[in-house]
Amino acid sequence: MRAIDSIAEDLAAGRITSRALVEEALARIADPAGEGARTFIKVHADQARTMADATDALRKVGREAGRYAGIPIALKDLFDIAGEPTPAGSAVLANAPPAKANAPVVARMLAAGFIPMGRVNMTEFAFSGLGINPHYGTPASPWQRAERRIPGGSSSGTAVAVADGMAAAGLGTDTGGSCRIPAAFCGIVGYKPTARRAPIDGVLPLATSLDSVGPLAPTVGCCATIDAILANEPAAAMTPTGLRGLRLAVPENMVLDGMDATVAAAFDRALSVLSAAGAHIQRTTFEQFAEVPTVNAKGGFAASEAYAWHRHLLAAAGPDYDQRIRVRIARGEAISAADYIDLLHARARLISAFDVATAPFDAVLMPTVPIIAPRISDLDDERAYNSQNMLILRNTALGNFFDRCSISIPCHQPGDAPVGLMLVGETLGDKRLFAIAAACEAALGG
């Protein structure tokens, strides 16, 4: 995996062409020994080649093609692409009417010159953190691939595409961890912005109160670059902050429960490295965490808002859904208007309290996921599927509920199972969080 700035420099200097990048990506997608067939739902091979040739032609005659023009990316299957259906990893919408226009975030990536390699796999309708899809297959995490471990979800295909070199970076969405979980399981960086930072128009929703659009990429810097494009902001050089004197909180309640030995060792090592670099690590308790499960006990925003969107489609084609996803959506039917209003008020109250609690700190640190990626085959049992899904989503979902920006960076040693270190920043503190995350990435050897 190479940082997109490094690729951009090679393109500008003529050391590589966009066509060569696209052909390399296509070869990896088509490799029968790889995960391409399970990662891509649709490959835009001809379009990608045409766009690459046009970009190379512009550069050849000295015309400005844009710094990132010609770099291959992957698009999660829930983004509108003009002229195509938006199935969101489902079978029921595979032949839906085509989108009339590109989603704004897709349009912004195209305007920056990135080349979409196609639509990539995901958990059906983005409603699980595991990445399992019965309709299109489940791409395996890069680690111990012969054992076929889950890629994480719901942006499963985006993470595997980036990790395997089928794209240089990609777009995902994050409603409860869907960028950060697959990034952690696949050994890359995943970013969840403050939700209002990038538009979600033209993105098939899960829960609009929580949905956000974010990048998955090899480095923090890559994610910062793409985030600026998605937010329609001018690109700015990112300077890592100094670690010395940073105040980093480590919650001792909830988020460390159930850690396996591999994650615990990687997390403790990360804290030791950051402390040795001069960061002040303070272990503390955030009382607000304890209230979240109770507030969400009936299904929370995900079930209520998903059911509102899906109820007519469920009535017409419920058997065509992944039944594990259908059951989760159907929970929303029992949530009353009064329940939903209570949920809105409780969230506002807890956000206000959490803002006060985190004010003394520069960021909050926790494991992205408390366990390493389980085997796909171990989750065939419904009880195991549900329990592992809840555990895997537990930590990341806090960032969405509290309306924060959050990032997962690798913190494992080479050769070990991928483990993510999650940093949670302040609401709209995205640029500050990128600077802190870049410093942590450098200290941890990223």
Q: Tell me the CATH number at 371.
A: 3.90.1300.10
What integer pLDDT is reported at residue 223 of this predicted model? 98
What integer pLDDT is reported at residue 19 of this predicted model? 98
Domain limits for position 251: 247-298+338-443
What integer pLDDT is reported at residue 337 of this predicted model? 98
Last residue of a domain, one of 181, 205, 230: 230
What integer pLDDT is reported at residue 426 of this predicted model? 98
- 140 lies in some domain: yes
Q: Are residues 435 and 294 in the same domain?
A: yes
What integer pLDDT is reported at residue 235 of this predicted model? 80
Whether 352 is catalytic is: no
Q: Are residues 189 and 72 in the same domain?
A: yes
What is the number of domains present in the chain? 2
Q: Are residues 203 and 345 in the same domain?
A: no
- 101 lies in some domain: yes
- 169 lies in some domain: yes
Q: Are residues 260 and 176 in the same domain?
A: no
User: CA-to-CA distance for 141 and 85, rounded, in angstroms?
Assistant: 27
The active-site residue out of 90, 128, 154, 155 is 154
Q: Are residues 162 and 271 in the same domain?
A: no
The active-site residue out of 76, 128, 156, 408 is 76
Q: Are residues 199 and 290 in the same domain?
A: no
What integer pLDDT is reported at residue 403 of this predicted model? 98
Whether 128 is catalytic is: no
pLDDT per residue, tens digit, the chain (446 aa), is 999 999 999 999 999 999 999 999 999 999 999 999 999 999 999 999 999 999 999 999 999 889 999 999 999 999 999 999 999 999 999 999 999 999 999 999 999 999 999 999 999 999 999 999 999 999 999 999 999 999 999 999 999 999 999 999 999 999 999 999 999 999 999 999 999 999 999 999 999 999 999 999 999 999 999 999 999 998 877 788 999 999 999 999 999 999 999 999 999 999 999 999 999 999 999 999 999 999 999 999 999 999 999 999 999 999 999 999 999 999 999 999 999 999 999 999 999 999 999 999 999 999 999 999 999 999 999 999 999 999 999 999 999 999 999 999 999 999 999 999 999 999 999 999 999 999 999 999 96
- 314 lies in some domain: no
What integer pLDDT is reported at residue 64 of this predicted model? 80
The active-site residue out of 128, 156, 178, 304 is 178
Q: Are residues 181 and 71 in the same domain?
A: yes
Whether 76 is catalytic is: yes
